[in-house]
Amino acid sequence: MAKKFPAQNFLNRELGLLEFNRRVLAQAEDTSVPLLERLKYLCIVSSNLDEFFEIRVAGLKEQEKLGGLASGPDGLEATQILKRLHAPTHQIIARQYQLFNEELVPALAEQGVKFLRRTHWNAEQQAWVKDFFLREVMPVLTPIGLDPAHPFPRVLNKSLNFAVELQGKDAFGRNSAKAIVQAPRVLPRAIQVPPELAGCPHGFIFLSSILHAHVGELFSGMEVLGCYQFRVTRNSDLFVDEEEVKNLRISLQGELPQRHFGDAVRLEVADNCPPELADFLLQQFELKADDLFRVHGPVNLVRLFNIPDKVDREDLKFAPFVPGMPPLLQKKGADMFKVIRKNDVLLHHPYQSFKPVIDFIQQAVADPNVVAIKQTVYRTGTDSELMEALIGAARAGKEVTVVVELLARFDEEANINWAGRLEAVGAHVVYGVVGHKTHAKMLMVVRREDGKLRRYAHLGTGNYHPRTARLYTDFGMFTSNEEVCSDVNEVFTQLTGLGKASKLKHLWQSPFTLHPKILEAIANEVKLAKDGKRAHIIAKMNSLLEPEIITALYDASQAGVKIDLIVRGVCALRPGVKGLSENITVRSIIGRFLEHTRIFYFRNDLAHNVYLASADWMDRNFFRRIEVCFPVLDEKLKKRVLDEGLKAYLKDNVQAWEMDCNGFWHRKTPGRGSETCAQTELLQAMGQPLAVAED
């Protein structure tokens, strides 16, 4: 029987996600952020909102169809939540386009980065655009006239489309008044124009402008009355009945193509689209008026994300840097196994390099004494040195076992491809446990030394993904501690074999011990506080939603435990409520790097217990995923995690936001000369400016 908690003690998840996107949007509004980076933040908001509609809103609409009963601790029904989301989503999107049109576009133009609007093209530009259209665009377009023989086409999720209003008869005497033109995904949405033609160093023309200008070429002899871009967002949650399928990989491969054609959940149209045409499109997609978003500009801002990469203006971007290297590994060609045998090694990404993780695997592949390698794979990307190294290890005859999570959202296709390549060279590939995503970040190498087998492990808070290791903050730790490595081996055994879960000595693991161990650690701080001792909890994570943990934190606050929470995204806990949570603060850091570390600190009567984890404090992470939480046992490394991962962020008054009891966030404003920015200080302390590194 599920426990019931007072609904008024919890904030809504979906509204919290929108608040998170307001904080990201504030980065795009911040004039102290480099201009091209502001454009990127604007695109990130659009990407986040796409996923918000594809997953969260889509899920609420499905609940609504089934009766919309309350499913979250806040007690709100699906219909109530959808109504509450209407105003803030429209506000955020309207602010995005206002910022783009009124601030970013003019500011970029002053710096020689211009978006050339159709109404301002000169004769030479018009000629260039026409030539480009005839050469590069028209051959791949398929206009579809709407008549009884040509029903409304299946429109791909998030694709760029045009609704065209026509007048006149075609070659067959047909008198269709409407047509749909779908822009192929192979075409870029912003086309770079030669500088001498653009009249500036970096000129871009939107594909939508090119199509608008020459759509008449597609309907010879007919008059184009209007051309309006639109985009539909669809339900993108995959459904695979894991209890019924015999081969998850094959079933998933069959399901992936359908993601593009799920139920529509949002329609975006150009702001000049006539009401009757917008209504027609809503009818085609079975949407309501609340699902319509009119935008003044490109309907897909996400596709502008690569523009900064095409603009050679480093002064308009964040200063490049080279991640630092731990002193123990600074010697070129350092023997990773020798170093790890002597000491645990902590890596703090992106301030410190991800290269030691790659070196570790590559040395294991080349080492004849290494007999086995085991790794979990959640997200690695389509191009991964680590995965190529594992393939090389299997080819070399080593025992390679890879636990691939096929249901890692939006990375399913890449993971399926890696699984196929690994199996082809003889690696053991397993897909974890039915009903539980494998989200743990673990890597283990077994090496023969002095006639015995010795294990080495790497555990982390982030994915084995070199690109995101440059963009996300994460901790990773190498260890040869026999008990910790034994625990890691036990988790791998659970994932690949069958049998009861054995008791682990150090690791806390979902879905078995992580939730009760966190509750136990919180209860211990309550006991210490009631005994008159100082009690303190600091926890950093992406999301805090699980009601039993939140209730335990409320109880701890009332017992006098000081609780500092650093939550990047959504937090359902209400801080600072009299009689409930006076001793709890919640803050969020939004900056250059995506905060991704999960760190849990319990003072424990001066024992200062520090844990790193792959898991947030959410229902799914505790009960529906395989996660690991591991202690930092080395006192020097424990101090590093406390200083770098927690204390620095609690002192931040530049990129920090604090949440009030109603779920609204307020940005910290430092006094003059007292600015403290955690990310900047950590980058200065551990990284190197690119120019210095090159010297």
How close are the terminal C-alpha atoms of the chain, in Å? Answer: 64
Place of tokens 């959808």: 82
- Measured N-to-C along each axis, helices 385-395 and 412-424 cross at an angle, to the nearest 10 degrees, of 20
The b/e string for 610-637 (b: 16+ C-beta within 10 A; e otherwise) is bbbbbbbbbbbbbeebbbbbbbbebeeb
- The residue from 214, 348, 436, 439 that is catalytic is 439
Are the beta carbons of 61 and 79 closer than 8 angstroms?
Answer: no
3-state secondary structure labels for all residues of 653-683: CCCEEEECCCCCEEECCCCCCCCCCHHHHHH
d(CA 692, CA 462): 28
Q: Where are the alpha helices (DSSP H) in 385-513?
A: 385-395, 412-424, 482-496
Phi-psi region of 397 (alpha: psi -120 to 50; beta: other; left: phi over 0): left
φ, ψ (nearest 5 deg) of residue 434: -55, 130
φ, ψ (nearest 5 deg) of residue 38: -60, -40
How many other β-carbons are positioned within 10 Å of the β-carbon of residue 157? 18
Q: Using the 8-state DSSP alphabet, how is residue 182 labeled?
A: E
Q: Using the 8-state DSSP alphabet, how is residue 426 labeled?
A: T
Is residue 439 part of the annotated active site? The answer reads yes
d(CA 624, CA 514): 12
d(CA 208, CA 300): 10
String of DSSP letters for 443-477: EEEEEEETTEEEEEEEEESS-S-TTGGGTEEEEEE
d(CA 257, CA 101): 35
Q: Please provide the size of the chain in residues.
A: 695
The b/e string for 192-222 (b: 16+ C-beta within 10 A; e otherwise) is ebeeeebebebbbbbbbbbbbbbbebbbeeb
| Positions marked catalytic | 439
